[in-house]
Amino acid sequence: MVKDLSVNLCGITLKNPVIPASGTFGFGLELGDSFDLNVLGGISLKGTTLEPRYGNPTPRVAECASGMINSVGLQNPGIEALVTDKVPRLRDIYDGCIIANISGFSIDEYRTCCAKADACEGIDIIEVNISCPNVHGGGLAFGTSPEAAAEVTKAAREVSRKPLFIKLSPNVTDIVSIARACEDAGADGLTLVNTFLGMRIDLAKRTPVLANKMGGFSGKAIFPIALRMVYQVAHACKIPVMGCGGVSCADDVIEMMMAGATAVQVGAENLRNPFACPEIVSALPETMQRLGIQNLKSIIGIV
């Protein structure tokens, strides 16, 4: 029997819930010759800032058991390159949901980038990363307080007609309060979680492995914590959630959806296996058959 993998995300129909997470899939173009991108439910593009950024000094990546730590530093070509080059080229070969991931270091930068993304015809959803430091607010990440998260959300909402998702940081005491603040400020949806803060030390050199000392910890090891946060937020808010964090197989996708996620992003697993997402999509019907699931929409938030 044919299984229904489709989901509805803020009025946009995705053929399946599987979406490569921002920062792990480039702009989609890099893998366009390796497999048919149209098997994917959506693509969250590399995090983009107002101006081009080279990123942090190297080394930027440290391996860990069941995961990795990165401190790439939002290397990207800037918002103009995104809307005038990257998105139009991707739209030529991809008919699914294109998600622009926007980062900023001030409210004005978020507002400007979101306005440009909103005006770009090929972009379907705007995803705002609030894990960036507020350079005008003492350097704390916007996503670490409900007030700052709401301020970014409100600024993005003012210039965005397209569905607006806020990507939450897990490096907080109470993620539900921040999620609710974003919902109250006008977010259409939430993406969670971003990476956890981690560190490795080179024992021989007696120095941190990363030039930036600390970075974002991701991979299979964070899945249970990410799942818990998705469950908490999905049951506390009325807007849809894209679950992310340690997802590496079809079973993980089902688990995230049962916890409350409408769509599921795959992150670090793409860096280990560039074909992870199409393999997960391919495995979903058999997994659904094994679990007695006819359509994925029926399991969202059933736990």
Which one of 97, 114, 120, 132 is the catalytic residue?
132
Element (H, E) at 63: strand 61-64
On the 0-12 / 13-18 / 19+ scale of CB atoms within 10 A, 207 is: exposed
Which string of DSSP letters, residue by residue, matches 228-265? Answer: HHHHHHHHH-SS-EEEESS--SHHHHHHHHHHT-SEEE
Closest CA to 215 of 273, 131, 145, 135: 131
Q: Is 120 annotated in the active site?
A: no
Q: Is the peptide bond prior to 72 cis by the omega test (within 30 degrees of 0)?
A: no
CA-to-CA separations, 171 to 56, 143, 178, 216, 227, in angstroms, rounded:
20, 9, 11, 10, 15
How far apart CA 134 and CA 124 sit, in angstroms, is 27
CB neighbour list of residue 83: distance below 8 Å, 6 or more residues apart: 116, 117, 119, 120, 123
Using a 10 angstrom Cβ sphere, with 0-12 exposed, 13-18 middle and 19 or more buried, the burial of residue 281 is buried
Q: Give the catalytic positions in this structure.
A: 132
